[in-house]
Structure 1
Amino acid sequence: MNQPSKQSNTRLIWAITAFIISVWIGSASFAQTVESEEAVISEEAVISSDVPSTKEAVNDAVIGDLLGIDYATWDRTALRVEKVLLSDSTSSFRLERTRTELSTWRDEFSSAMSENDARLATVNAQITALGAVPAEGETEAETVTTRRETLITMRDDLAAPGLLAAEAYARADGIITEIEVKLRAKQTAALMERSVSPLNPTLWPDAVTQVVSGITTMAAEIKAGITSRDWTSYNQLRMLWAAVSVLVAIYLFIRSPMLVHNLMPHPKTKAGSVIAESIGAVLEGVLPLLGLIALAYGLHGLDVFGVRGEAVLEQVPRAGFVIIVASWLSKQFFPEGDRYGPLNHVKAIRDQLRRNGVILAWVVALRLPFAAFLESGTDQTDNASVLFFPFIVVVSVSLFRFATLLRHAPDENAGPDVSAGRTRSFIGRVVQLVAIAAPILAALGYDAAARAIVFPTSLSLGLIGVIIYLQTLSFRIYDLLYDVEDGRKKALAPMMVGFALFVLAAPLFALIWGAQVTDLLSAWARFTAGYTWGQTKISPSDFLTFVAIFSIGYLLTGFIKTSLRSSVLPRTSLDLGAQDAIVAGFGYVGIFLAAVIAITSAGIDLSSLAIVAGALSVGIGFGLQTIVSNFVSGIILLIERPVSQGDWIEVGDRMGYVRDISVRATRIETFDRTDVIVPNADLISNQVINWTRGNLAGRLILKIGVAYGTDVDRVAGILREIAEAHPMVVMTPPPSIYFMNFGADALEFEIRAILRDVNFIMSVQSELNFQISRRFSEENIEIPFAQRDIWLRNPEVLRHSDTDNDAETRPAAPEFHQTRRADDISDPDGGDTT
């Protein structure tokens, strides 16, 4: 029963999507005629002044025709704009339109500057191939001289269009800079302009009257639009589209959670669950937004709402976008129930933050159609300051409350916090200061300044939330790809993703805080054009290209290394050392290729560094000879593999396991669990004992001593029996028992046996010692220990020295009576003392 339901829901979704697209296209076609008329009017308004063309412009036009640029028109446009800049009464709107027009010209000139670069490079190479001009007194073939002069003329002709384009580009860029200075001055003056205080009660009746009058006017416009409309079949189709759009919007608003649940699969793997959960969470916000867009464009197609109604209706999708995104973010960051969000607040704080976030979103969203309603009617600044003051107060209170709750410490039982505590505290303090300053500024009459800080702050919080959500998602994806837990703490890649998200969001922050699209386009044009210092031109876009390509190559190399280590190489017959060598070698080659491809793609010219590299090569060679030696030794270690990861080696007085071989040094973990960093050159040039090279078998030598008089054959049989019984001792060859020596205190034996795994030599030695001690005790075999007897040859000397001292104050010297073998006793005078 579930499968047919899912199929029907899928067909319904496709039908809804197709209808939305058709409504969108139809609405766009309805508005195309109006937009075209407005474009014509604006173009006629821009090109209004009659500037005579100059002789230079005509000459430029001849060369400009080669590149498709009308320099005569550009010269007239530039002269007109320069006249406009001399006037202080030019509006900001006209300055914006003029800057947009000049930006188009500047982009055209920028492209023309490099139009003949490839051909110029070829001609310059031809001139270089002909050699230098002969010195005075020298001669060359006339054909060569003629050819060189021809090529030089050709080079000058090819360079002329680029030079003209560069001059025009500089002129356009300079005029745009002047316009931007004027715009910033006007924006600053508008922000600092003071109107009356909205707390003055005498202004309230006029403000209320303006709102009521505006509502009445809008209702009359809508009524007139409906009654005056000729509802032919074509307009009835419009009405049908509008009705269907309303139904689609209502369906998406109500049924979007159920649609997401039915459409999304329910995989059993962890990776599939994370991906499905993330996509489903995004769809829960996207589907209602699509419904809102369908509703707005469907109603817009009726064309019955008049000037005010159309202005308000145009802001409905934006307001709905703010509400839907804010509600979605509130559910993701402050979820209901026992599930923690990315900020790990306790449930009580999460509930309050979720409510405050939704209230804040509604107030900020309603401000958009309300502002359009006011701006489409009257320009009375005093009434605007009074009418916007309630919005400013409510938003400020909500912001302050939200920031206070946001600064609460996370739950100690939750997982790691994505946002650092200091960063969250700093953002909370800044938001609190804005929430306090905005109502004060508005109350003092600085309504524009108050609106310029409080509403962008609210939208910026939402954008930061989106970035944090995407960064959290990248953390989870990284953990799944590399099969690690909390990889965010150890890896650079997720942090780089977070940094890249903030960089990509910079234009959105700029738009939120009042920048225009033309401002961003102008900044991007300057950014891509590069900066020149002396004879060197640095292009930030080339640098970004290098960073982006190298980062992609680096991440791809890391991913392939992980796949090789975990999936591909374990299925082969290669040993662990060979696998590590292949992975390490691939990593070096991958990073090298990523750097080469990034440098080539960015167009970075390294030829200018050749002289510097040649001058410094000697000094670098002496200064870095140790590093180079270690690097080459590391390559040799990876190729020859005399030492591999996991080997038990002994270097000098250090012994341990090889844990990592890098290009400079090798890390050895000793039995004390300490890491010893050994330069690779020491492993190549010095003597190294590898206990596990080739195989894990190794020999154990165990020394045992028994007392004199013990039956040596019985001792040898017991030792052989114990050695052969141990499971780690191999029988091919069998263990050997050797009677090594007649020691000073014992008869010395040795057990020499080959172990299956020499890594267990200490534990095997201990277990054999236990067995030997137990068997020797059962067989009454004595294990001797060293004994020494002490004899004093001249004890009378000690007695005489004692009598010389005060007998009352010093005790008498003790007498020693020890026994020793007779052959070890001798008299000082050479006599026998036995």
Structure 2
Amino acid sequence: MSPLMRRAAAAAVLFVALVLGAASGWAQQSDAGTVREAQTEPAADPAVGPGVEATLAGAGEASDGGATGAAAVDYTAWDKVAKRAEQALEAGRASDQALQTLRDELVGWREVFTKARAENEVQIKTLETQIKTLGPEPADGESEPAAIAQTRALLNTQLEEAQAPVKAAELALARGNALIAQIDTTLRTRQTNALFALGPTPLNPAIWPKAVEDLFTTFRLAWSGVKSTFGSDAQRAEFWQNLPVALLFGVAALVLILRGRAWVMRAGRRLGQTRGGRAVAGGARGAGAWRFLLSLGQFALPLAGVYALVEALHHAGILGLRAQVIADGLPALGLSFFTARWLGSAVFAADGHHSWALLHHGPRARVEGRFHVATLGFLIGLNGLLTDIAAYETYSQTTRVVLGFPIILIAGISLFRIGQLLRADARMRSRDSEAGASFLVRTLGWIALALMLAGAAGPLAAAVGYTKLADSSVFPTVLTAGLVATLLGLHGFFVSLYGVLFKTSEANAREALLPVLASFVVALLMLPVLALIWGARVSDLTELWTRLGEGVQIGDTVIAPANLLTLAIVFAIGFGATRLVQGTLKSTVLPKTRLDIGGQNAITAGVG
């Protein structure tokens, strides 16, 4: 996980932002190895060839020249960039990072051409209107007055001159779109090939000693770097000077990590207590919403403690370069672990009656479920930390495979056991229900089966040598399950909040439409995160958004999302105004007339 993603996660306070940050951060780990390898490549690769190197070197020289206005676009510079892109694609030897840089350059040019395409729009429409006002051109064998013919010819000439730069921008835009699409296809093809590439098997004992030696060397050098910070009098003096602040952060870190979750859980239990049949927190109707918001502190406070610990280490000034890499990975590890532990405590609630608990039978099963969920969260964070260390130390492929296999194996076992627990619970519910298995229970059974398959297939693939395939199947499955659990929690919150706002019981709130619609909107917002989890690149999502923004052309009509949104807003306003008029007529105007009830209802219905 990159430092940028860790800083983004650090800025998150609410749960949704934290979960989405963790999900998107892990999703980009699949590309992290390739990107870091590209960063450590030599400046000039003899295998690439001079043409491609010129392509990559010139990837940043042109977009500044693309000024506003179609006539101001430097098409000579654009042609150079486009030819370089074509050469790089034909050679097929540029790295993924270089292609991504080139793609970003092409996207910049595309924005220039998109703006240039809208130039002279008013002038073109005015000229077209004037030409249309002159009427249709005379048919063959017919003539029109000389003044009209002269005016028509002049207007057509002006129209061609106004459309010329627009046509040039449209042609360049089409060329840029084609190049961007080819780069995307190349990157996706490479990603697929890497996914199914057969590497060394971690079951080969001959490669174990080297992997263990590399890992111990990293920690030994990290400790040596820490000891070297006390090598001079100036360093020791700086340490003692910064020690009070470091101790303050350290104490805060220990308190938040060790006691923060216990405080929140104690407050939650007090919230659920009743006195004289009344809930302490202002009514039982709103207790669920308050309990959900309060439960966010179960991972927010310990996570704040992790950040405080990192700050303590930084203020102490005792971190060497390698220890700095390890310390920078701790917040991501804490984010993953504490969030997973919070999800597990809710999905596998201890009392079995949590608003979004999945297991309602067997306290031992719920304890095991919470353990496996927390384990999966810790392993996801540990996998990211190991990726950062491997990139810094430039571990070989065999070392990465050996060190990563235990993580994949344990994650697969935990995932398989969670699937077994959910499947057993679904069968138990089906037997206990007189009407048979409900839709939710059947869906839970299928989800459990998918977890079991992923948990079994991942370690097997890694054992054979398909480490990339295993890594890209186990962890995305875990994060997808986490998103589903998050959606369940938010739906329970929406139900409780609906009960508070509309002063209704929880049973009625669960049957209401508004909480379902809110959950549906959240599910739609989670789709981009889900795509990132399963290997999509950010550029893929931005490209899709760009295509949607351009709209779909049907004949001469272009239908864009903005048009659909405008239609929906106009319809909502019209519908609301109609209902307002109907209500006014029914309650205020018509009762004062001599019309009978049937006539009043007929007029009211006719207005709608």
Q: Which bin holds the TM-score, normalised by the shorter protein?
A: 0.7 to 0.9
Query: Which residue of 349, 361, 382 corresponds with 1:346?
Result: 361
Corresponding letter in the other structure for 2:491: Q
- Work out the CA distance in 1 between the residues paired with 2:567 and 2:508: 22
Q: Which residue of 1 aligns with 2:32?
A: none
- Work out the CA distance in 2 between the residues paired with 1:232 and 1:70: 59
- Work out the CA distance in 1 between the residues paired with 2:311 and 2:150: 71
1:500 aligns to 2:521 (yes or no) = yes
Query: Which residue of 134, 137, 145 corresponds with 2:143?
Result: 137
1:455 aligns to 2:475 (yes or no) = yes
| CA displacement, residues 318-349 of structure 1 (integer Å, 9 cap, x when unaligned) | 22221121122122223223633423623513
- Work out the CA distance in 2 between the residues paired with 1:336 and 1:557: 50
1:334 aligns to 2:339 (yes or no) = no
Q: Which residue of 2 aligns with 1:371?
A: 387
Q: Which residue of 2 aligns with 1:424?
A: 444
Please state whether the residue corresponding to 1:537 is helix, strand or coil.
strand
Corresponding letter in the other structure for 2:294: G
Q: Which residue of 1 aligns with 2:413?
A: 397
Q: Which residue of 1 aligns with 2:294?
A: 280
Q: Which residue of 1 aligns with 2:207?
A: 203
Change (3 A) 1:271 1:340: closer
Query: Which residue of 392, 396, 404 corresponds with 1:380?
Result: 396
Query: Which residue of 205, 217, 237 corresponds with 2:221?
Result: 217
Q: Which residue of 2 aligns with 1:316?
A: 330
Cα deviation for residue 500 of structure 1 reads: 2.3
Pairwise CA RMSD:
4.8
- Work out the CA distance in 1 between the residues paired with 2:421 and 2:415: 10
Change (3 A) 1:245 1:435: same
- Work out the CA distance in 2 between the residues paired with 1:80 and 1:345: 62
Query: Which residue of 453, 461, 465 corresponds with 1:445?
Result: 465
Change (3 A) 1:520 1:212: same
Q: Which residue of 2 aligns with 1:191?
A: 195
| CA displacement, residues 17-45 of structure 1 (integer Å, 9 cap, x when unaligned) | 9xxxxxxxxxxxxxxxxxxxxxx999x99
Written as runs of structure 1 = structure 2, the 5 A alignment for 1:506-517 is 506-517=527-538
Would you tell me which structure has more strand in proportion to its own residues?
1
Cα deviation for residue 159 of structure 1 reads: 3.1
8 A contact 1:99–1:518 mirrored in 2: no
Written as runs of structure 1 = structure 2, the 5 A alignment for 1:684-703 is none
Q: Which residue of 2 aligns with 1:642?
A: 598
8 A contact 1:320–1:365 mirrored in 2: yes
Cα deviation for residue 451 of structure 1 reads: 1.0
- Work out the CA distance in 2 between the residues paired with 1:109 and 1:228: 59
Cα deviation for residue 508 of structure 1 reads: 0.8
Deviates more, 1:335-344 or 1:499-508: 335-344
Corresponding letter in the other structure for 1:325: T
| CA displacement, residues 292-325 of structure 1 (integer Å, 9 cap, x when unaligned) | 3454467568886455434433332222221121
Q: Which residue of 1 aligns with 2:54?
A: 49
Q: Which residue of 1 aligns with 2:422?
A: 406
**Structure 1 gap segments, 5+ residues each:** 1-15, 18-39, 583-636, 646-657, 666-834
- Work out the CA distance in 2 between the residues paired with 1:470 and 1:205: 47
8 A contact 2:202–2:402 mirrored in 1: yes
- Work out the CA distance in 2 between the residues paired with 1:73 and 1:242: 54
Change (3 A) 1:378 1:283: same
1:578 aligns to 2:582 (yes or no) = no
> Identity across aligned pairs (percent)?
27
| Aligned pairs, number | 536
Q: Which residue of 2 aligns with 1:612?
A: none
Cα deviation for residue 85 of structure 1 reads: 1.4
Change (3 A) 1:210 1:117: same
Cα deviation for residue 404 of structure 1 reads: 1.2
Please state whether the residue corresponding to 2:598 is helix, strand or coil.
coil
- Work out the CA distance in 2 between the residues paired with 1:65 and 1:294: 51
- Work out the CA distance in 2 between the residues paired with 1:365 and 1:551: 47
Cα deviation for residue 489 of structure 1 reads: 6.3
Corresponding letter in the other structure for 1:428: A
Corresponding letter in the other structure for 1:346: H
1:165 aligns to 2:169 (yes or no) = yes
TM-score (normalised: structure 2):
0.73
- Work out the CA distance in 2 between the residues paired with 1:120 and 1:504: 40
Corresponding letter in the other structure for 1:121: K
Which is bigger in relative contact order (C-alpha 8 A, separation at least 6)? 2
Change (3 A) 1:259 1:202: closer
Q: Which has the larger radius of gyration?
A: 1
1:539 aligns to 2:554 (yes or no) = no
8 A contact 1:399–1:432 mirrored in 2: yes
| CA displacement, residues 470-517 of structure 1 (integer Å, 9 cap, x when unaligned) | 122223333444455545665544333333222211111122122222
Please state whether the residue corresponding to 1:205 is helix, strand or coil.
helix
8 A contact 2:70–2:113 mirrored in 1: no
Q: Which residue of 2 aligns with 1:102?
A: 106
Written as runs of structure 1 = structure 2, the 5 A alignment for 1:536-575 is 536-540=557-561, 542-543=563-564, 545=565, 549=569
Corresponding letter in the other structure for 1:502: A
| CA displacement, residues 615-662 of structure 1 (integer Å, 9 cap, x when unaligned) | xxxxxxxxxxxxxxxxxxxxxx9x9742678xxxxxxxxxxxx9xx97
Q: Which residue of 1 aligns with 2:456?
A: 436
Q: Which residue of 2 aligns with 1:178?
A: 182
Please state whether the residue corresponding to 2:54 is helix, strand or coil.
coil
Cα deviation for residue 71 of structure 1 reads: 3.2
Change (3 A) 1:291 1:385: same
Corresponding letter in the other structure for 2:521: A
1:523 aligns to 2:531 (yes or no) = no
Deviates more, 1:426-435 or 1:251-260: 251-260
- Work out the CA distance in 2 between the residues paired with 1:273 and 1:372: 42
- Work out the CA distance in 2 between the residues paired with 1:552 and 1:237: 64
Cα deviation for residue 163 of structure 1 reads: 2.5
- Work out the CA distance in 2 between the residues paired with 1:70 and 1:82: 19
Cα deviation for residue 434 of structure 1 reads: 0.8
1:92 aligns to 2:112 (yes or no) = no
Q: Which residue of 2 aligns with 1:76?
A: 80
Please state whether the residue corresponding to 2:203 is helix, strand or coil.
coil
Q: Which residue of 2 aligns with 1:362?
A: 378
Cα deviation for residue 431 of structure 1 reads: 1.0
